[in-house]
Amino acid sequence: MEGIIGLEDGTILRGRGFGQEGWVAAEMCFNTSMTGYEEILTDPSYRGQVVALTCPEIGNTGINPEDEESDRVQVAGLLVRRLSRRASNWRNRESLEVYLQRNKVPAVEGVDTRALTRKLRTQGAMKGVLATNGMSGEEAVRKAREWVGLGATDYVGEVTTKKSFEWDPEGKDFPGKLGSETRKMPAVRHRVAAIDCGMKRNILRLLRAQGIQPVVFPAKAKAEEILKANVDGVFLSNGPGDPAVPTYVHATVRELIGKKPIFGICLGHQMLAHALGAKTFKLKFGHRGGNQPVKDLTSGKVSITSQNHGYAVDPKTLPVGKAVVSHVNLNDGTCEGIRLVSGEAFSVQYHPEAAPGPHDAGYFFRQFSDLLDAAGKKR
């Protein structure tokens, strides 16, 4: 079947459709990572987006349950240059094509994804339609222009857990594995409330690997409910959409600041900023890939990081004397981390849990553990 991509600027791209037959309207974005397509597909932060992968061949390692970052494919659609129909990996359980069909996600191959990436970098993020149901290119462009955009939907509300639960590293839904090896988890030293805005599984694994037991709460949980759970700290997860939309999370975090140590990642970083009264803005084309250089302004250390965000915190709006920028992106100078002057909370815009990507920033989980230890000694 033919695959069509129509962009709001009138561009029409053609290829071969695979996966689910149908169409989706979404924001068009790209990821430059050379590995980890399964983690990208299942990352809830991609809700409402069609992802173009710049790696020229996708599907060659197949699909396996250990590499899923959530319980389903989260992207609205997928664009690849070439689909590999033969998977060669000892962990492979099914092909990428079958996987997308089973998850009802449309995809298109045969598109020059690197040319599309250059276009998005030059002109900025665009609304688009991906269709595999015989839709004409002209109709795809028209529907792309009619789509309401990311800011009109509460995607956090779509991907968050429906009820609270204590994460089990040996549980069926979240296998306690890192790569292909089962890791023996250390004894629990702290319990933290993990506010689920679209949390990746590897975050839960790495928290637990530090002796931190996550108690996962829905994004709409109230501060009172969280404090009653007798937790030692609060973790704010990654997630999708415009960070200005889930105001209920802002309100909860605002009430928790100063009462419990807080650590936030990606959208969680933006939730902390909003709770402090700061603002966020939309980046021209976002940061999505595994090679973003970030500088720690305290130590001067530069880390190569995994990133996936289309919005950033405006550092000029942070409350003077209460919060400061701790990390910056060396490509464009945007804010990549903040911390409270009091030391009670910190957050980073990027993904120290990787999955996929480099592990340079994994020390933040240990830093959170140290913060919990220090808070425990004060009690």
Please give, one letter per residue, the 3-state secondary structure of 57-106: EECCCCECHHHCCCCCCCCCEEEECEECCCCCCCCCCECHHHHHHHCCCE
Q: How would you class 125 by CB atoms within 10 Å of its CB: exposed for 0-12, middle for 13-18, buried for 19 or more?
A: buried
- Show contacts of 172-181: CB within 8 Å, 24+ apart: 173/71, 174/201, 174/204, 174/205, 175/65, 175/66, 176/205, 176/208, 177/66, 177/205, 178/202, 178/205, 178/209, 179/66, 180/66, 180/91
Tokens standing for residue 364: 């933040």
Q: Distance (Å, rounded) from C-alpha 172 to C-alpha 360?
A: 29
Which residue numbers are catalytic?
A: 266, 351, 353
DSSP string, 267-318: HHHHHHHHHTT--EEEEEEEEEEEEEEEEETTT--EEEEEEEEEEEE-GGGS
Q: Distance (Å, rounded) from C-alpha 78 to C-alpha 51?
A: 5
- Max Cα separation, the chain? 65
Q: Find out whether 371 and 363 touch, Cβ atoms under 8 Å.
A: no
DSSP alpha helix (H) spans, the chain: 37-41, 96-102, 113-123, 137-146, 155-159, 201-209, 223-228, 247-256, 267-275, 363-378
Q: Distance (Å, rounded) from C-alpha 44 to C-alpha 39?
A: 10
